[in-house]
Amino acid sequence: MVNALTRHDWSRDEVRALFDLPFNDLLHRAHEVHRTYHDPNAVQVSTLLSIKTGGCPEDCAYCPQAARYDTGVAAQKLMEIDEVLERAKAAKAAGASRFCMGAAWRGPKDRDIPKVAAIVSAVKDLGLETCATLGLLGNGHAQALKDAGLDYYNHNIDTAPEFYGEIIHTREYQDRLGTLEQVRDAGLKTCCGGIVGMGETRDQRAGLLQALANLPAHPQSVPINQLVPVPGTPLANADTLDPFEFVRTIAVARLLMPNSIVRLSAGRQQMDDAVQALCFFAGAGSIFYGEKLLTTGNPDVEADRALFRRLDLHPLEVVESAGTVHADIVEPVLAEAACGHGCGCSNAS
């Protein structure tokens, strides 16, 4: 269903006004939109595997996979297809409907694409939705991945355009927009969000969501990540974001992009159950299951299962039949997962 109120011309003042609403008023408005366009008791479940870890040449200030930072993450080669398939089968058996694959590259080389495409094709044959986050894409890469059966491509814009240069210096903001354009042109679905808690102001958080909402097409999936400070990275000592400010960010994202699935992503380990419940009420409709997000922690599997039961939530299982997609209820048995962010390293998805 396409929302007749979907817009791509939000001003910063309008977005900031939403952030500044009284907390209960904001959550009420966001939940009404969430309930109108989504099942409020269903959560899309994804599992993400790092298929190539560490050694990234970028300098993203939050990322433990950057080779220049001493974080204890060793560089590894691209995983073999059989190993990836073993993990994908386990994820499907555990109730995940989407299998996401991340690689710590600035961007794949031409020679890497056939290898990744073969992995994507094999995972797709298992009946899972497929997602990849490989960094900046070159000419023809998005189309090759689409042809192999890729459903989603994750590439985050990370933060507001004016704050971007405080966090990353090895690629331009426009580089990210260029990859997103290639992804859309190839007919892939986009997974695009950002990270909060990196020292940005509320106005800059509004700027992140404004930039996402004003893309030519709203991302089908919008991961909102809370920074996980990692020793050895420049943001290791970043101040912790007020949890209610994070909930506000989820709620405003829901209001700006009503048809998108907003994902409660990295940083869940630092959230208590009540904060997560508020996020689901405010419009979060997706999580990563599992114990590990690449190099940062995630709530353990038993805690996630218990939380779903306590909140009467059920995972969405995407079933494609005769051209339709619907959600089935599945028992939330969890698998180990990881998550990556839009340039192929870690801390966010």
List the catalytic residues: 56, 60, 63, 100, 131, 191, 263
The C-alpha atoms of residue 246 and residue 261 are separated, in whole angstroms, by 17
Q: How many Cβ atoms sit within 10 Å of the Cβ of residue 239?
A: 11
- Distance of alpha carbon 194 from the chain centroid: 8
CB of 127 within 8 A of CB of 167? no
Question: Residue 257's closest CA among 15, 46, 20?
Answer: 15
Question: Residue 254's closest CA among 226, 280, 228?
Answer: 280
Encoded tokens for 205: 């958080």
Residue with tokens 């994070």: 246
Encoded tokens for 238: 């970043």
3-class SS of residue 88: helix
What's the DSSP call for residue 217? S
Secondary structure E strands in the chain: 42-52, 98-103, 129-133, 152-154, 189-191, 194-196, 221-226, 261-264, 284-288, 292-293, 296-297, 314-321, 324-329
